[in-house]
Amino acid sequence: MSNPRRHHYCPESFLAWFTTGLTRDGTLWVFDRTKHQIRKSIPKNEGHQRDFYRVDVNDGSDPFFLEKQFSDIEGGAKHAIDFILKEKRLPDVKSMEFLLSFAGLLAVRTPSYRKKMAGVYEELAKKVMEVACADEKMFEATKNRLIDEGHDLAELTYEDTKEFVEKDDYTVGTPQNQHLVTMLKSAATITECLYQRNWIIAVAVGGEYICSDNPIGLDWSKKPTTWRSPGFGLSGTEVTIPISKGIALIGIFETPPYTTATLDRAGVANLNNKSIQRAERYIYGSNDDFIWRNEKGDVVNAKEYFFTHGHLLPAAEYPKK
């Protein structure tokens, strides 16, 4: 088996459900929010980065084992999604475990999540640097400890280091393996929270769902009395997972009044808004258009979206203001 180098944070099998024919070879329309472009593609060519999950090893073990394990989980999730699309009901417990494990990974295996965590690590590292340079005694103690650990810092002075830290003209990188450890720990925590939720199948009857390069949605279903970010383990929140252009899953902690619902045009547009809002760059769909709701609450199309958020089409084709 060859080593996979093109690591999909949006797996091919997942993106296939948003193509024209619901297959890996089907046409996938890609809306690029950065370049304000639209293009045709196929799942294989989207949602990936080279060696994104490659493990840095020096013991001769397989650096691609993580990507290969992801493929096993994706296979189990695909069977679960196949069942839901065909039967319009949830599969057995074992299949749901695969699907929710897959969803837990989808929530954290994206470039946007890695960028977020890199920012957290950098902020923490800079705080440590500030503490280490708080006074010369603290600096020398830290320096000596690092020298004892084998670092060549004999020429480093307190004055130069303090000036460097105060200028704040530097960045702090995060090692690849640290990103992967954080991803796996976060995925395990999120997956456990997903297991505890009750799931509703939302069938689109008034349009088609889209997805994005950040596929898992987390929002408040009941607005908190004070502002705070939603969390996967907090009540009053809902997780939305479009699993195909025709079906999405909605997970809540409360007992739902039904297990299957149909969403009309407005409902589909509302759920599409969630996909748009969490997209870092790419939106994916089965055709060259999608519906969403603008600030007035009107259900409008992709042309309207890019008219208000950046040019996509020739000016003559834009809707009238």
Mean pLDDT of the 24-29 span: 95
Given a cut of 70, whether residue 49 has pLDDT beyond it is yes
Cβ contact 232:71 at 8 Å: no
Mean pLDDT of the 286-301 span: 92
Average pLDDT across the chain, whole number? 90
> Tokens representing 251?
């997970």
Read off φ and ψ for residue 223, nearest 5 degrees.
-65, 130
For residue range 126-165, what is the model confidence (pLDDT) as tens digits? 999 999 998 999 999 999 999 999 999 888 999 999 999 9
Measure the CA–CA gap between 4 and 253, rounded to whole angstroms: 38
**What pairing do the DSSP bridges indicate for beta strands 48-50 and 6-8?**
antiparallel
Measure the CA–CA gap between 20 and 285, rounded to whole angstroms: 8
Measure the CA–CA gap between 228 and 226, rounded to whole angstroms: 6
Which of the 8 DSSP states describes residue 149? T
Given a cut of 50, whether residue 317 has pLDDT beyond it is no
For residue range 59-95, what is the model confidence (pLDDT) as tens digits? 888 888 888 888 889 999 999 999 999 999 999 999 9
In the sheet that 211-212 helps form, which strands lie side by side, from edge to edge? Answer: 37-41, 28-32, 282-285, 211-212
- Report the percent of the chain where pLDDT is more than 70: 95
Helix (H, G, I), strand (E, B) or coil at 33: coil
Measure the CA–CA gap between 173 and 181, rounded to whole angstroms: 15
Measure the CA–CA gap between 207 and 265, rounded to whole angstroms: 6
Cβ contact 266:206 at 8 Å: yes
Alpha helix stretches (DSSP H) within 197-264: none
Given a cut of 90, whether residue 262 has pLDDT beyond it is yes
Q: Which residues contact 311 (CB under 8 A, 6 or more apart)?
A: 36, 318
Measure the CA–CA gap between 212 and 284, rounded to whole angstroms: 6
Distance of CA 130 to the CA centre of its chain: 32
- The pLDDT confidence band at residue 2, using thresholds 50, 70 and 90, is low
Measure the CA–CA gap between 7 and 180, rounded to whole angstroms: 13
